[in-house]
Amino acid sequence: MDCPIKTQENTDWLLDYAAGRLRGESAPQLARHVEACNDCRGFVAAQQMVWNALDKWEPDPVSLDFDRRLYRSIEAAKPASALPRLLRRLVGPLQPLWRPVVPLAAACLLIVAGVMLQTPQAVMAPADGSAHMERIEPEQLERTLDDMQMLRELAVTPE
C-alpha cells in the first residue's frame, strides 16, 4: 500500500490505527505497512502518546442536583406556555367553523354598541329604582325590535 504520510492520503487510517479503531481489510494492510515504514511508525507512536495523554484528562462528576435543577427549569417554563398550547389544541380543529363568523359577530357588536349610544336613557342606571325602569321599558322594547328587524334585513341583504 502507499504510505499515508508520503501521499497525504488516508491519514485518517493512521489516526484510527493509533487509536485501535481501524477495522476491515485496511487494518492488517496498514499494520504491515507501519511495521516497515519508519515515518508511519513514528507517527503512530506520537499519536498514541497524545491519545494516552488525553485519557488522563478526566472531568469532575456532574453535580448531584443537575436533574433537579433541569426539571425545575422545565416546570418554570411550563405555566407560561402550557395554557396557550392547550387552548390552541382545543380550539385549533374548530377554526374552519368559527372563523367566518368572526366578522359578522364584530359587525353585530358594532351595531348594538351604536344603538346603545343613541339611547342613553336605556344605558344609564335609573335614579329612582324600578318604577322608572317600567316607564321606559316599552320604548326600549320597541327600539330593540326595530334593531332586530334592521339586523335581519342586513343579514338577508346580498353583499
The sign of the torsion formed by the CA atoms of 14, 16, 22, 25 equals negative
C-beta separation of 32 from 61 below 8 A: no
50 near other proteins, judged by CB under 8 A: yes
Nearer to other proteins by Cβ, of 56 and 99: the residue is 56
66 near other proteins, judged by CB under 8 A: yes
Residues near 18 by Cβ (< 8 Å), separated by ≥ 6?
43, 44, 47, 48, 51
Amino acid in the structure at residue 87:
L
Least Cβ distance, residue 95 to other proteins (angstroms): 19
Between CA 100 and CA 86 the distance in angstroms is 22
Rule CB under 8 A: choose which of 36, 53, 97, 127 binds other proteins.
53
- Transcribe 46-106 into DSSP letters: HHHHHHHHHHT--PPPPPTTHHHHHHHHHHHHHHHHHHHHHHHHHHGGGHHHHTTHHHHHH
What number of other Cβ atoms are within 10 A of residue 66's Cβ? 10
Between CA 44 and CA 14 the distance in angstroms is 7
51 near other proteins, judged by CB under 8 A: yes
Rule CB under 8 A: choose which of 25, 35, 60, 153 binds other proteins.
60
Residues 29-48 that bind other proteins (CB under 8 A): 46-47
58 near other proteins, judged by CB under 8 A: yes
54 near other proteins, judged by CB under 8 A: yes
98 near other proteins, judged by CB under 8 A: no
Least Cβ distance, residue 32 to other proteins (angstroms): 22
Nearer to other proteins by Cβ, of 11 and 149: the residue is 11
**Would you tell me which residues interact with other proteins (CB under 8 A)?**
11-12, 15, 19, 21, 46-47, 49-51, 53-54, 56-63, 66-67, 69-70, 73-74, 77
